[in-house]
Structures are given as C-alpha cells and as structure tokens.
Amino acid sequence: MENKIDLLSIGDASMDVFLAPSEVETFCSINKKDCVVSFAYGDKIPVKHMQWSVGGNAANNAVGSRRLGVNVGLLLTLGDDIVGNEIIQSLKVENIDLSMVIQQPSTTSNFSTAITYGGERTIFTYHAPRSYEFPVQLPSVPWIYLTSMGESFRPFYNHLADYMAKHPEVKLAYNPGSRQLRAGMEGIGDILKLTYLIFVNREEAEKLTSMGDSHGKERDLITNLSKIGPKVCVITDGQNGAYVYDGTNYLHCNVFPMDAYERTGAGDAFGSGFLSAVIEGKTINDALIWGTVNSASVIAYVGAQKGLLHSNEMQEWVDRAKSSGVVVTTF
C-alpha cells in the first residue's frame, strides 16, 4: 500500500459503453410503471449517441469517495487485457491507491453495454470468470467498503471474515451485489453479522428480511434488516428517498428534484456520498444529504462517474438541496 488510506473499496470494475438508439418502440402498461423497449429481431439499429466510461460498484465508490476528500485504495481483480489497462489508466487520474489491483493473466475484464432511453437503461453485463485474490498481508484500515463480486466470491469472503476477526477495529460498509443476494443468508450471513453499515434498496431489503411488500411498513423493514447484523442500515427507494436506522433513530430524506438524464450509478453515488460524510465525522443527517445530492448530480450525466461531486462543490449542492425542500425527518 503506497500511502495510508482511510477506505479500502473491494469489488469489481468494468468498462461501460452507453448506447442511445435513435429508433425505439416502447410498450407500456396504462400506468406507465412497466415499459418494454422493443427492437426488431435481425435489424440494424441506428445509435445517435455513444459514450464509454469506467464503472463497477467498487470503482464508482472509490472515485466518489476520493473526490470528496477520502484517501481511498482499491482491491479488485482485472483481466490482463486492453479493457483492464484502460480501467487502470482512468483510475490513476483520480489519485486512488491501486497497489492492490491485480491483473490476472489469461483473464478478461468485465464489460457492460447499457441501452439508454427516456432516462432509464437496460444493461447487458459480462462478468468474466475469475478467482478473487485476497492480499497475503492486508494492514488494518479504518473502513472497508465491500460490494458486488462475481460468482466465485465465497473463498474471498472466507479470507475477509478471518481478517475482520483479527481486526475488530475495522468498520465494514457492505453493499451486496445480485450474486451475493441470490446466495441468501446461507451465503453471506457471516459477513452481514460483521457489517457496521449496509446499503441496499427496498427490494433487496425485502429479500434479505424475507418480507413481502413493505410499502407503509418502512420502520418494520429497516428494523428487521438491523436484526440480521448491521449496526447502521440504509435503504434507498428511488423517488421515495432514503431511510436510515442507526439503532436509535429512524430517519428519512426526500430526493432532490432533478430531471434524470441517465440513472446508472445513482445508488453508488448515494453510497459514496453518505459514507464519505460518515468517515469525515459528519452526522447521519448530513450523510443523508451528501448521499442525496451526490446521487442527484450523477443522474444528470451519462455514466456512473462523470457527475460525482468534488469536495469543493458539496456545500453549494447541499445549500441548493435544502433551499429546494430536501430535509431529513423522522419516520
């Protein structure tokens, strides 16, 4: 590790390409909550815009936290290919410690293609088969952020659990990915018990707690989430804002009203904003606001990282949010 770091972000990184087709047919239900974008099979579809950017939950968290003043290191495994090289070059610009980034020979890097339309997107993801390598000697760090990993995550989790047992002073922030959620309590229960701070959306919280429809039962949902291990629980819920329970206080923050250009990375931006505030000694109320405005900034751009705020921009955005009616309340 090149320098002392405050936060080690663990997970995956990918190269993302965003395509905005110029010819689209949509089919929506009457209430327009459920829509399908249709392309004719065998057709060549014109694209009016194309953009590339680095993504992946761990990379997004690292970039977002570093821009907000946190000293960040990344622990991830890439392929030894052109995509992996491009990811590393992009992250170097952000002044992130990459001494624990490994490029495995004969392995390809992760790649995603996002079809964007009407502020939403459908993502095709390729997660290359790989083994995740845990460092032989990982020094104690104040915070670890653990997020989405591929199918072979469990051996890495075993090493992490051993590390956490030897370093109880380390605080773990956890944002489980889809593969981890599919593994259920049997697959990730030990990590949840070690978790200090968890980030999930409403559907993910319902899955982890085995609750059905939780609308109108937010307090029950977040309380049940805390019972499986995490000391501080954060549930994001799209346009309904975010909920937090810290063992004592039930807090809610509404969204910053912004027109969404593209929503990729909104959850990661909320997480990096919230966690950076906590690491920098802010209150939970402040952390909710930081997460909310960081997420609002990201959805104004294509890609998960372009709109991530810098520390010298945060106060202006906080002031704008509060003047627009963004407020933290109890629920």
For residue 309, tell me if it sits in a domain: yes
For residue 103, tell me if it sits in a domain: yes
Pairwise CA distance, residues 55 & 147, whole Å:
13
What pLDDT is attached to residue 286? 98
Asked if 179 and 154 touch (Cβ cutoff 8 Å), the reply is no
Pairwise CA distance, residues 118 & 107, whole Å:
35
pTM > 0.85: yes or no: yes
For residue 160, tell me if it sits in a domain: yes
Sign of CA dihedral 310, 312, 316, 321: positive
Percent above pLDDT 70 for the chain:
98
295-299 own/partner pairs: CB under 8 Å, 24+ apart: 295/256, 295/266, 295/267, 295/269, 295/270, 296/255, 296/256, 296/258, 296/321, 297/269, 298/265, 298/266, 298/268, 298/269, 299/119, 299/258, 299/260, 299/261, 299/262, 299/263, 299/266
By CB atoms closer than 10 A (0-12, 13-18, 19+), residue 186 is exposed
For residue 120, tell me if it sits in a domain: no
Pairwise CA distance, residues 315 & 300, whole Å:
18
What pLDDT is attached to residue 302? 87
Q: What is the number of structural domains in the chain? A: 1
Asked if 214 and 229 touch (Cβ cutoff 8 Å), the reply is no
What pLDDT is attached to residue 11? 97
For residue 217, tell me if it sits in a domain: yes
For residue 30, tell me if it sits in a domain: no
- Residue-range definition of the domain harbouring residue 62: 7-14+55-109+128-330
For residue 118, tell me if it sits in a domain: no
**Chain-centre distance for alpha carbon 221:** 21
What pLDDT is attached to residue 41? 84
Q: Which residues of the chain have pLDDT under 50?
A: 1
Supply the CATH number for residue 275's domain: 3.40.1190.20
For residue 245, tell me if it sits in a domain: yes
Among the listed residues 209, 206, 280, 279, the one whose alpha carbon sits nearest the alpha carbon of residue 236: 206
What pLDDT is attached to residue 24? 74
Q: Which DSSP letter does residue 140 get?
A: -
